[in-house]
Chains A and B, each alone.
Chain A
Amino acid sequence: MTSSSLYVKETKAIKRTKGSLLVAESIPDIKFGEIVDVWLSSGEVKRGQAIDISKEVTVVQVFGGVSEVDLIGSKIRCKGETLKLAVSEDILGRIFNGIGEPIDGGPSVVPEDYLDVNGLPINPAGREPPAEFIETGISAIDGLNALVRGQKLPIFSGSGLPHNRIVAQIIRQAAVKRKEEQFAIVFAAIGVSYDDAAFFMKNLEQTGARERTVAFINTASDPVIERISTPRLALTAGEYLAWKQGMHVLVILADMTNYCEALRELSAMREEIPSRRGYPGYMYTDLATMYERAGRIFGKGGSVTIMPILTMPDDDITHPIPDLTGYITEGQIVLSRELERKGIYPPIDVFLSLSRMMKEGIGAGKTREDHNNVFMQLYAAYAEGCNLREISTIIGAEALGERDKIYLTVADRFEREFISQGEFEKRKVEETLDTGWELFSALPEEDLKLIGEELIKKYLPKYSEKT
Chain B
Amino acid sequence: MGKIWRVSGPLVIGEDMKGSQVYEIVEIGSEGLVGEIIGLEEDRAIIQAHEDTLELKVGETIRGTGTILTAELGPGIVGSIYDGLQKSLTVLMEKDSFIKRGAKVFALPRDKKWQFSPKVKVGDAVSEGDIIGTVPETNLLEHRIMVPVGIKGVIKEIREGEYTVEEPVTWLEDNGEVKELTMMRRWPVRKPRPYKQRFAPSRLLITGMRIIDYMFPLALGGKAAMPGGFGTGKTVALQQLARWAQTQLNIYVGCGERGNEMADVLYSFRKLKDPATGRLLQEKEVFIANTSNMPVVAREASIFVGITLAEYFRDMGYDVLLVADSTSRWAEAMREIGGRLEEIPGEEGFPAYLGSRLSSFYERSGLVECLGSPERRGSVTVAGAVSPPGADFSEPVTQNTLRIIDALYSLDVSLANKRHFPAINWLTSYSLYVDDVKGWWSEISPEWDVTRATALKLLQQEAELEEIVRLVGPEALPEGDKLVLLVTRMIREDFLMQSAYHEIDTYCMPAKAQLMLKTIIKFYELAQPMLDSGVSVAEIRSSPIVPRISRMKDIPNDTFEQRIKELWSEMEASLVAQRGGVS
Q: Residues of A with Cβ closer than 8 Å to B? A: 26, 28-34, 51-56, 82, 116, 118, 120-130, 150-151, 272-276, 281-282, 284-285, 288-289, 292-295, 297-300, 318-320, 323-324, 326-328, 330-332, 351-352, 354, 356-357, 359-360, 372, 376, 379-380, 383, 390-392, 394-395, 399-401, 403-404, 444, 446, 449, 452
Which residues of B have CB within 8 Å of A330?
Answer: 258, 260
Bound-state Cα–Cα, A320 to B293, Å: 19
Contact between A400 and B474, CB atoms less than 8 A apart? yes
Which single member of B54, B292, B469, B551 contacts A449 (CB below 8 Å)? B551
Contact between B260 and A400, CB atoms less than 8 A apart? no
Contact between A53 and B57, CB atoms less than 8 A apart? yes
The residue on B at minimum CB distance from A293 is: B293
Also in contact, A122 and B97, with CB within 8 A (given A54-B13, A351-B418): yes
Q: How far is the CB of A83 from chain B (nearest CB, A)?
A: 10
Bound-state Cα–Cα, A295 to B13, Å: 36
Which single member of B266, B391, B473 contacts A124 (CB below 8 Å)? B266
Q: Is B475 an interface residue (CB 8 A)?
A: yes
Which single member of B6, B8, B345, B476 contacts A273 (CB below 8 Å)? B345
Q: How far is the CB of B577 from chain A (nearest CB, A)?
A: 17
The residue on A at minimum CB distance from B11 is: A52
Please count how many residues in chain B sit with their CB below 8 Å of the partner chain's CB atoms.
79
Which single member of A30, A51, A127, A359 contacts B259 (CB below 8 Å)? A127
The residue on B at minimum CB distance from A384 is: B418
The residue on A at minimum CB distance from B420 is: A383
Also in contact, A400 and B231, with CB within 8 A (given A53-B58, A55-B58, A394-B470): no
Also in contact, A124 and B254, with CB within 8 A (given A54-B6, A320-B389): yes
Contact between B473 and A275, CB atoms less than 8 A apart? no
Q: How far is the CB of A409 from chain B (nearest CB, A)?
A: 16
8 A-B pairs with CB atoms under 8 Å apart are: A29-B57, A120-B100, A285-B292, A318-B389, A376-B419, A380-B418, A395-B472, A401-B475
Bound-state Cα–Cα, A235 to B262, Å: 21
Contact between B292 and A292, CB atoms less than 8 A apart? yes
Bound-state Cα–Cα, A189 to B472, Å: 51
Q: How far is the CB of A380 from chain B (nearest CB, A)?
A: 7
Bound-state Cα–Cα, A125 to B288, Å: 10
Which single member of A289, A320, A331, A452 contacts B231 (CB below 8 Å)? A331
The residue on B at minimum CB distance from A392 is: B473
Contact between A123 and B349, CB atoms less than 8 A apart? no
Q: How far is the CB of A133 from chain B (nearest CB, A)?
A: 15
The residue on B at minimum CB distance from A397 is: B473
- Which applies to chain A's interface (DSSP): helix, strand, loop or mixed? mixed
Which residues of B have CB within 8 Å of A404?
Answer: 474-475
Q: How far is the CB of A413 from chain B (nearest CB, A)?
A: 19
The residue on B at minimum CB distance from A351 is: B417
Contact between B263 and A326, CB atoms less than 8 A apart? no
Bound-state Cα–Cα, A79 to B136, Å: 57
Q: Is B380 an interface residue (CB 8 A)?
A: no
Contact between B260 and A129, CB atoms less than 8 A apart? yes
Bound-state Cα–Cα, A379 to B497, Å: 14
Contact between A327 and B230, CB atoms less than 8 A apart? yes
Which single member of A273, A285, A292, A323 contacts B258 (CB below 8 Å)? A292
Q: Is B123 an interface residue (CB 8 A)?
A: no
Bound-state Cα–Cα, A326 to B257, Å: 12
Contact between B418 and A276, CB atoms less than 8 A apart? no
Contact between B259 and A292, CB atoms less than 8 A apart? yes
Given contact pairs A281-B332, A285-B336, A318-B392, enumerate 13 new A-B contacts (beta carbons under 8 Å): A28-B59, A32-B56, A33-B54, A116-B54, A127-B263, A273-B345, A285-B332, A318-B390, A318-B391, A357-B260, A360-B264, A394-B473, A401-B538
Which residues of A have CB within 8 Å of B389?
Answer: 276, 318, 320, 323-324
* Binary contact track B205-226/A, C-beta < 8 Å → 1, others 0: 0000000000000000000000
Contact between A380 and B419, CB atoms less than 8 A apart? yes
Also in contact, A121 and B58, with CB within 8 A (given A394-B470, A399-B473): no
- Select the stretch in B86-94, B147-155, B440-448, B563-571 that faces chain A: B86-94
Q: Is B22 an interface residue (CB 8 A)?
A: no
The residue on B at minimum CB distance from A243 is: B97
- Select the stretch in B189-197, B277-285, B397-405, B542-550 that faces chain A: B542-550
Contact between A125 and B81, CB atoms less than 8 A apart? yes
Q: How far is the CB of B523 from chain A (nearest CB, A)?
A: 15
Contact between A284 and B474, CB atoms less than 8 A apart? no
Which residues of B have CB within 8 Å of A276?
Answer: 348, 389-390
Bound-state Cα–Cα, A380 to B329, Å: 33
Q: How far is the CB of B432 from chain A (nearest CB, A)?
A: 29
Which residues of A have CB within 8 Å of B464?
Answer: none
* Binary contact track B476-510/A, C-beta < 8 Å → 1, others 0: 10000000000000000100000101000000000
Contact between B345 and A297, CB atoms less than 8 A apart? no
Contact between B57 and A122, CB atoms less than 8 A apart? no
Which residues of B have CB within 8 Å of A273?
Answer: 339, 345, 349
* Binary contact track B334-369/A, C-beta < 8 Å → 1, others 0: 011001000001001100000000000000000000
Q: How far is the CB of A149 from chain B (nearest CB, A)?
A: 11
Also in contact, A281 and B349, with CB within 8 A (given A118-B54, A120-B99): yes
Q: How far is the CB of B119 from chain A (nearest CB, A)?
A: 34
Contact between A127 and B349, CB atoms less than 8 A apart? no
Which residues of B have CB within 8 Å of A399?
Answer: 473, 475-476
With a 10 A CB-CB cut-off, give which of A124, A127, A276 has the most chain B CB atoms.
A124
Q: Is B289 an interface residue (CB 8 A)?
A: yes
Q: Is B256 an interface residue (CB 8 A)?
A: yes
Contact between B7 and A289, CB atoms less than 8 A apart? no
Which residues of B have CB within 8 Å of A151?
Answer: 260
Q: How far is the CB of A401 from chain B (nearest CB, A)?
A: 5
Contact between B473 and A395, CB atoms less than 8 A apart? yes
The residue on A at minimum CB distance from B548 is: A446
Which residues of A have CB within 8 Å of B6?
Answer: 52-56
